[in-house]
Amino acid sequence: MSDTPYFDEAAKSATFEPDGQFNIIGVRAFITSCASIADWMDDLYMELGERFVDSRLYMSARRAAKRTVSALLNEFRVPNDSQAKEKFFAEFYSAIGWGQIDYRLDYANKSGQVVVKNSFLAQGYATKFTADGRNVATSTKSEIARCTLLGAYLAAQVSDFLGEEIEMIEKQCAAMGHGECIFQVSREQ
């Protein structure tokens, strides 16, 4: 989707400053490997347990994501139209490397799924950053879904699209050996 304006606008806004400040659309950001994030998450899951980590991560990310949705829609002057918003968020999050998002929503019934390929959280789990600097596939499969954080961001987006606060529960995760991550619209979390 490299010929699309939202993707280009986000990707080309990246600036690398010699004083250590990296910015995307003028927002201070940083780059790390997905494998490093997965390593940090491994310890949290091990020490605190999946249910606690996922619920805290989801709740805190959900709050941040709600603000992010509003800020991005304003920043990019996205038309107030669900199709335009789907296109925008898919291209924006692709540009910043979170994954390829495919919204499969049923607007009439305010339900449906979001399918994500190449989730940074799942791929971080599937590869390790080795001492010689390469991503090496671990071929291990997770027993738990690993993309709760991403689900919280999708929930804030889809809530905006549907005009109703909903949650997104990850039903299938690439880290568990599936080809993609699948999130389901839910009224519970």
Contacts with Zn ion, residue ranges (CB under 5 A) = 119, 122, 147, 173, 181
- Which residue lies nearer to Zn ion by CB, 53 or 173? 173
Instruction: Answer for the pair 127, 138: CB distance below 8 angstroms, yes or no.
Output: yes
CB-nearer residue toward Zn ion: 113 or 119: 119
Q: How far is the CB of 12 from Zn ion (least distance, A)?
A: 28
Torsion angle, CA of 61/127/20/17, rounded to 10 degrees?
-100
Three-class SS string for 71-94?
A: HHHHHCCCCCCHHHHHHHHHHHHH
Residue with tokens 């003028």: 26
- The CB-of-178 to Zn ion minimum distance in angstroms stands at 8
Q: Which residue has the tokens 């995760």?
A: 173
**CB-wise, 10 or 181, nearer to Zn ion?**
181
Q: How far apart are CA 97 and CA 102, in angstroms?
A: 14
Q: In terms of CB distance, is 94 or 119 closer to Zn ion? A: 119
CB of 119 to Zn ion, least distance (A): 5
Residue 89 CB, shortest distance to Zn ion, in Å, is: 17
C-beta closer to Zn ion: residue 53 or 181 = 181
Q: Report in angstroms how near the CB of residue 60 gets to Zn ion at its nearest.
A: 18
Segments of the chain assigned E as strands = 15-16, 22-24, 27-29, 100-106, 111-117, 127-129, 135-137, 167-172, 181-186
- Using the structure block, give the residue that is written with the tokens 């989801």: 58
